[in-house]
Every structure is written in C-alpha cells, then in structure tokens.
Amino acid sequence: MPNPTAAALIIGDEILTGRTREGNGHFLAGVLAQTGIDLKEIRVIGDDHATIVAAVRELAAGHDHLFTSGGIGPTHDDITADAVADAFGATISIRDDAYAILAAHYATTGMEFNAARQRMARIPAGARLIDNPVSAAPGFSLGNTYVMAGVPNIFQAMVASVLPTLTGGKPLISLSLRVMQAESSVAQAFGALAARMPDISMGSYPFVKDGAYGTNLVVRGTDAARVEAGHAQLRALFPEGQ
Amino acid sequence: MPNPTAAALIIGDEILTGRTREGNGHFLAGVLAQTGIDLKEIRVIGDDHATIVAAVRELAAGHDHLFTSGGIGPTHDDITADAVADAFGATISIRDDAYAILAAHYATTGMEFNAARQRMARIPAGARLIDNPVSAAPGFSLGNTYVMAGVPNIFQAMVASVLPTLTGGKPLISLSLRVMQAESSVAQAFGALAARMPDISMGSYPFVKDGAYGTNLVVRGTDAARVEAGHAQLRALFPEGQ
C-alpha cells in the first residue's frame, strides 16, 4: 500500500519579495518523511484571496493532506482563514470555543481582548481547532486541509498537535555516503547501480570543500533491507567513502 | 504599466524529503524584487519527469518568465533538461557549442571528459546557453524559461548571467518600522492605515525578543513617494518605532 501524499502551501508576500527565507516547508518535509507521508509539492504564494482559494482547491483535491502556513494572525493581511472557507464552500464567523480560548489567554496576560484579537476566533463552519500552546490563537483543519500559523515556533507546535491525528505509512529511510570525487566522476557507476535497483531512490549532491570536489550519494526508500542493500553496494563501489 | 511577472520552479527530491533546505527561491526573490519583476509563485517538486513537464507548461504559460533550479547535472536523476524540452515540444541532443565549452573545461582541469560529463552538453533545440563561470556546464533558456543549476553558488552565477538580458519594471521599495508591541496590539491602527492607502502594500511580521513581543511593520510599493508617505504615516502612528 503506497504512503499517503501531502502538499504544503506557504502563504505570504514577505517570502516572495525576499524579505523572509521560508523554513516551515523544510521543517514539515523532515517531519512527514519520518511519518511516512510523501510530500509531493511545496508551493509559496502571496497574500491574494483568489490565488489562495485556487491553490487550496487544487492541492487539497490532488493530495491526501494539505498543510498551509501563514496568514491566520490578527492583521488586515491575514486572509487565509476566509480563503480556505471559500475554497471549501464553508461559511466563516467567530466561533465560541475559539473565542473562549482567546478570551482566557488575554485575561491571563492582562492584554485587552480587542477586535483584532477577536478576529483570530474566526473559524470556518465544520472545522476542528488545532491547539496552539505558544500564543493560544488556534489553527484549524477543514476537510483534509490543516491551516497553521506562519511564525516558525507556532507552526512547529501546531504540527506537533496535528501529527498524532494522521495515519502515516512507512517512514522514509535515507543512508548516505560521502565521496571525495566530483559528481561527474561517480555518475556512471552510480547511475548503473540505480538502474540495477529501480525500487529504491538514489540521488547525488555535489559540494566543494577546501577547494576539493565531493559528492554525497544518498539511497532512500521505505524498505529498510533494500535501502541497506543499496548502501552496501554503494560502499563496495566507493570503498573510500564515509 | 504593470511589472513583468515570474515564477520559480525548484526541482529536487532532496528538498521534499527534508534533506536540503531550499535557498535558491529566496535568493531569486530578492534579486527579482530589486529588478522590478514580480515573483508570483515558488513551487518545489520532485525528480519526476511528468511532474516537471506539467509544472513547466503551467508556470511558463502563466507568467512572463519562469526560472528553474536543479536537475541539470551529470547523474541519472538529472532529468530537467529532457523534461523542459518535452514541455516545449523541442528535441534534445548533445550540442556542439555546449560540448566545446565542457571539453575545454575538462582539458584545462585534467579530468576525463567522460560520458556522464558529455551528458551535460544535452541542450534542447532552439535554446540559448546560460554561462556558468563556476563549473562550465551551461544552463539554457528556452522560450521564457531559464533552466539553471541547483547548487547555490552556480545558481547565483547563472542568475547574474541572465539578469542583464531581462527587461525589468519598477523595483520594489520596502520600508519598515520595528515596534515593541504585539501584532494584535497594533493590528487595528495598522489595518486602518492600510485601508486608507490601498495603492501600497502593508504587512506585519511578529517576533519575540528576550521574552517581549514585537512587530515589524513593512510598507511596500513601486512608487517611492507613496511608500515614503505610508512610512511617514506609520511613524506618526507609532512614534516609538525604530
């Protein structure tokens, strides 16, 4: 049985204008690989309602899970919740349980529970809340789509809240060998090995260290015995590798 | 006249499996903002022929420019050149000028010009070469699509080769104000200002520093006078900001 599939949708003008280097997609990629969910695409788009609606519809329909990051805060440019509601044809309004969580949080911190903060209680009808242990304002899931904050530590905490609810497949196992040869020197033997073992994935990643060429050769798959067999073949081909 | 638009397509299993944190999209975003080309999407996909063909067709058709990163090296998993050729209905074969560049490079370095290295001279018919001052193996452009290496320093060198050939629009100007208040405290006044100045873009980016909440308020646009006017309004709203 193949692993479930997923896509990530990263929302924010700050990434497309070069202000912020995206990292949530990278974090999610590592977590999903360990969980046995195959991440097929990471897509970064801007804060535009129609663009978000279209991307949510396409990516939610094309994958078992869709994870979004960004645009659920208190300001005018936080439009993700409304766009996700539209994408699923759901209404959206301030919901009592989300409101209560936020009211309790601001009562504790002594900050006013103002209109901007109340806006973070807007949740599409039919959604389940995603716990936010960092700053209270919840994410939510609707259908197969998990809507989370863009601030990295909050995103990571929300992913931790969501993960136990997902059914994963076989975790991805990666073994690598570091060879101090140019990628184009190892390409022929490495490609021949990959052709002999088509059930596992092999990738090569060149680097330059202290002026010398090197390549990391990576064997990936979900069957541990096959990945280890591939790695053993690789070590036999490049006995100097580490 | 609106700025030209662009998309970036980042190709590589190593990113979707969490091995590598993508950075070429971020680099390109900064360069394009300065050039006056609006980056609308960054999409990361795996090393799969059909997926690359479909993404190149869609993104090249939907934007003035498409920039790709990754998959043009010497190994079996470097399939981007063939996929881009397919996307444009072009044939692909070893081309004399690319072959000559690589042959001269390997003659200089004393490394054998083997079959794997010759594979990097495969260029779609009708493409123009993109200079690679780092490691010789050229990128290429076909139609509105610029195909570049994934290794960051080579990608950056190829972008530098391509940029002078592009007609940009008005560079994006960003001014920001750092306020030591929670995003939800400034949201109402900031949103009201954004509503009064709909021709410029305003975004807010919360942070926590030494346990205290802060927010970076960013004003963006291509009209310097309007961006400066927005920033002046912002400073008047938050005189303590820096």
Residue A14's domain comprises 5-165
* Contact yes or no for A187 and B76 at CB 8 A: yes
Could you state, in chain order, the average pLDDT of each consecutive group of 10 residues for chain A (242 residues)?
A: 95 96 97 97 97 98 98 93 98 97 93 93 97 94 97 96 92 95 93 95 90 92 96 96 90
A160 three-state secondary structure: helix
Q: Which of A165, A192, A226 is the last residue of a domain?
A: A165
Contacts of residue A117 in chain B, CB cutoff 8 Å? 184, 187
pLDDT at B210: 87
Residue A219 lies in a domain: yes
Alpha-helical regions (H) of B17-95:
24-35, 49-62, 80-87
Considering only CA atoms, which of B21, B16, B51 is closest in space to residue A33?
B16
Tell which A residues from 29 to 68 touch B, by Cβ distance under 8 Å: 29-33, 39-47, 51
Among A17, A186, A202, the residue with its CB nearest the CB of B29 is A17
Contacts of residue A191 in chain B, CB cutoff 8 Å? 75-76, 116
B48, with CB counted inside 10 A (0-12, 13-18, 19+), is middle
Angle at A105 between CA A103 and CA A111, to 5 degrees: 85
d(CA B144, nearest CA chain A) in Å: 20
Q: How many CB pairs under 8 A join A and B?
A: 185
A223 and A146 co-located in one domain: no
Residue B173: pLDDT band (50, 70, 90) is very high
Among A17, A40, A45, the residue with its CB nearest the CB of B16 is A40
B64 and B121 co-located in one domain: yes
Angle at B151 between CA B149 and CA B156, to 5 degrees: 75
Q: Which amino acid is at B81?
A: A
Choosing among A9, A19, A201, which should be mutated to test the B contact, i.e. which has the most B CBs within 10 A?
A19
* pLDDT mean across residues, chain B: 95
Residue B133 lies in a domain: yes
Contacts of residue A230 in chain B, CB cutoff 8 Å? none
Judged by a CB distance cut-off of 8 A, whether residue B144 touches chain A is no
B40 and B155 co-located in one domain: yes
Residue A242 lies in a domain: no
Q: Report whether A47 contacts A106 (CB < 8 A).
A: no
Among A32, A116, A191, the residue with its CB nearest the CB of B75 is A191
Q: Which of B138, B165, B192 is the last residue of a domain?
A: B165
A181 and A78 co-located in one domain: no
Closest-approach residue (CA) in chain B for A12: B203
pLDDT at A209: 85
* Contact yes or no for A190 and B151 at CB 8 A: no
Contacts of residue A45 in chain B, CB cutoff 8 Å? 40-41
**Tokens linked to A151:** 């601030």
Judged by a CB distance cut-off of 8 A, whether residue B6 touches chain A is no
A157 and A184 co-located in one domain: no
* Contact yes or no for A22 and B18 at CB 8 A: no
B198, with CB counted inside 10 A (0-12, 13-18, 19+), is exposed
Residue B145: pLDDT band (50, 70, 90) is very high
Tell which A residues from 87 to 126 touch B, by Cβ distance under 8 Å: 111, 114-117, 119-120
Ramachandran assignment for B66, one of left (phi > 0), alpha (psi -120 to 50 degrees), beta (any other): beta
pLDDT at A110: 87
A165, with CB counted inside 10 A (0-12, 13-18, 19+), is exposed
> Helix B183-196 crosses helix B224-237 at what angle (to 10 degrees)?
140
Residue B124 lies in a domain: yes
Q: How far apart are CA A63 and CA A56, in angstroms?
A: 11
What's the whole-number mean pLDDT along residues B62-88? Answer: 96
- Say which DSSP state B86 is in: H
A58 and A160 co-located in one domain: yes
A206 and A88 co-located in one domain: no
A22, with CB counted inside 10 A (0-12, 13-18, 19+), is buried
pLDDT at B186: 94
Considering only CA atoms, which of A166, A165, A175 is closest in space to residue A223?
A175
Pairing state of beta strands A139-142 and A128-130? Answer: antiparallel
Number of domains forming the structure of chain A:
2
Question: Which H or E element spans position A225?
Answer: helix A224-237
Q: Report whether A146 contacts A65 (CB < 8 A).
A: yes
Judged by a CB distance cut-off of 8 A, whether residue A82 touches chain B is no
B110 pLDDT more than 90: no
Residue A160 lies in a domain: yes
Residue A181 lies in a domain: yes
Q: Within 13 Å and on the Cβ side, how many CA atoms surround A120?
A: 30
B133 and B34 co-located in one domain: yes
Contacts of residue A15 in chain B, CB cutoff 8 Å? 26, 29, 42
Q: Report whether A166 contacts A65 (CB < 8 A).
A: yes
A51 and A96 co-located in one domain: yes
Q: How far apart are CA B220 and CA B202, in angstroms?
A: 6
Contacts of residue A194 in chain B, CB cutoff 8 Å? 76-77
Q: Which of B139, B165, B191 is the last residue of a domain?
A: B165
Contacts of residue A74 in chain B, CB cutoff 8 Å? 183-184, 187
Question: Which H or E element spans position A228?
Answer: helix A224-237
* Contact yes or no for A29 and B15 at CB 8 A: yes
B32 and B117 co-located in one domain: yes
Contacts of residue A203 in chain B, CB cutoff 8 Å? 12-14, 47, 75, 77
Ramachandran assignment for A153, one of left (phi > 0), alpha (psi -120 to 50 degrees), beta (any other): alpha
Choosing among B10, B11, B17, B234, which should be mutated to test the A contact, i.e. which has the most A CBs within 10 A?
B17
Alpha-helical regions (H) of A12-171:
13-16, 24-35, 49-62, 80-87, 96-109, 115-119, 152-162
Q: How far apart are CA B161 and CA B139, in angstroms?
A: 10
Among A75, A182, A187, the residue with its CB nearest the CB of B191 is A75
Considering only CA atoms, which of B11, B152, B20 is closest in space to residue A41?
B11
**Tokens linked to B40:** 């609308």
B176, β-bridge pairs: B218
* Contact yes or no for B13 and A188 at CB 8 A: no
Q: How far apart are CA B183 and CA A75, in angstroms?
A: 7
A46 and A133 co-located in one domain: yes
Q: Report whether A120 contacts A84 (CB < 8 A).
A: no
pLDDT at B232: 97
Q: How far apart are CA B18 and CA A172, in angstroms?
A: 10
Residue B242 lies in a domain: no
Rounded to the nearest 5 percent, the helix, strand and coil shares of chain A are 40, 25, 35
Judged by a CB distance cut-off of 8 A, whether residue A22 touches chain B is yes
Residue B193: pLDDT band (50, 70, 90) is very high
CATH number reported for the structural domain that contains residue A222 in this entry: 3.30.70
A178, β-bridge pairs: A216
Q: Which amino acid is at A53?
A: V
B211 pLDDT more than 90: no
Closest-approach residue (CA) in chain B for A175: B19
A178 and A202 co-located in one domain: yes
CATH number reported for the structural domain that contains residue B51 in this entry: 3.40.980.10
* Contact yes or no for A16 and B190 at CB 8 A: no
pTM beyond cutoff 0.90: yes
Q: Report whether B17 contacts A172 (CB < 8 A).
A: yes
